Structure 1
């Protein structure tokens, strides 16, 4: 069965595999203070056109989020997130386990706006509540939608007016940047739009790893102490450095995001042709079509997908996700199979 479950089912970019093999018997300094991690930081700073940011490589997204959030917040401070936000739904209470409440906000498309954040601030009016201090967004969101540059500018301006920190989870940042026609985003924009963000590697063909970028000067001091305490410093940290070296050579990072989106396009077009609605409009490598139950069951007999929700008793919403390694022939096969299923069942 071919899998459209997620964008991390395959191993790693061939360039990364070759690079790791090449350095396998080289001796390196430990704990992320090696020449490869330094080179990767240089590559990223050059892409961002900002040499003032601090960059830390961490093995995974949940670990990145909990290490960062636990470092910057006081014990009584909390995080505002969309209800669908990864820290609220898929991190096993990791943020709460560090002592910080997540304040979820119901949204129609997975995206926060100033108008949605304002009532949370109004509610938490004094010291008898937690104090919301950080606004967390994912770009792309967990339902495949994207924030535009203009929307991020509005959010960051709102946060600064209300003395809030603004943090972008970039697990699939490559897709947001590759969807530039919709987002208007480039790498150099990012340090100007938030206090911190991370550049996801796991979902673009790294074996593992994310690059946390600290923009706000207040976050930088002693950050590695918190990393160590949270288990976020690898002894063999150069494995992370090498991977980001390769991802930031020859535009590989953006190309990986672009490929994942290109592989989703024929699938999305097939759904549109068949009149299958989407949970919300999504221009990236994740879409959430809503099928009649019988059609969803038929699809899942031949292909792996992820169950999202039941909009009603007669329909099932599935997540389809393509990746940096999705095979074009597999996409063509799915489209042909789907058309046959529609002719038979619809």
Structure 2
């Protein structure tokens, strides 16, 4: 066993004893009590934001609320419904929102490269968003508690994004601001990570997926289309990080299968243009990690595949009792370990 592998194994044992599925459940229950939207449910969004900020501070993090005011941004609609809306384009004349960014005192995010762990706080209209995306926010909060207990503050930055459902608006702002202010080694995006099913046939694939991504499709087919795994979407720049996350999740208790899927596009604007020409790959950029990819920052998206598994996606029935909290704890553990041991590839 190499020194690095031994360090990961030790960290897995230490953090594995501390991660708490019931805390994750409590976070989701509180956050998913009502829809959260800066435009459609502003009071609920303010309550959710205050809760998240209070939890981060209680875990020892310094929280920076970063308002933004942007004009004429191409995005999407946030109306409810169980279909993905990546092509339902909308030009937003003006949007005002706020992201939350948190660092541990003494972590020196300016002097050394940081790993960003992020999730979006908002929901679509009419959905309480337990899976999409209180599950991701809950993982960020539990990671905050675990890392806040470490003797040496790690170079990890936590981010809660606004207006993801309007077209990644908040994360576009955050990626630009953070990349100008500090060096970013990588980013981990948590997107709809709480729903799992061992039922054969519970997992579907997007149209054209089996042809475009044969290895991942074969892995899903070998499992008889059971939705019991986390999909780890990455690019060449984050190959090693994706494999580290998969191995860590497999060693968690309960063990969580991970299927890695490499987006073949390069980081940067060229990747966006290729996505327009090859529609199946657009599904791989459906969350806030894409804002970091577009700035050539290595990133992972962790997801339960949203509408391709979850029948409650973007519906009023996306409620806390539909989530699997022991497996959400495994997502938390693997995410914390990957952030702390992010491979240096840049």
Q: TM-score range by the shorter chain?
A: under 0.3
Choose 1 or 2 for highest CA Rg: 1
TM-score by length of 1: 0.26
TM-score by length of 2: 0.26
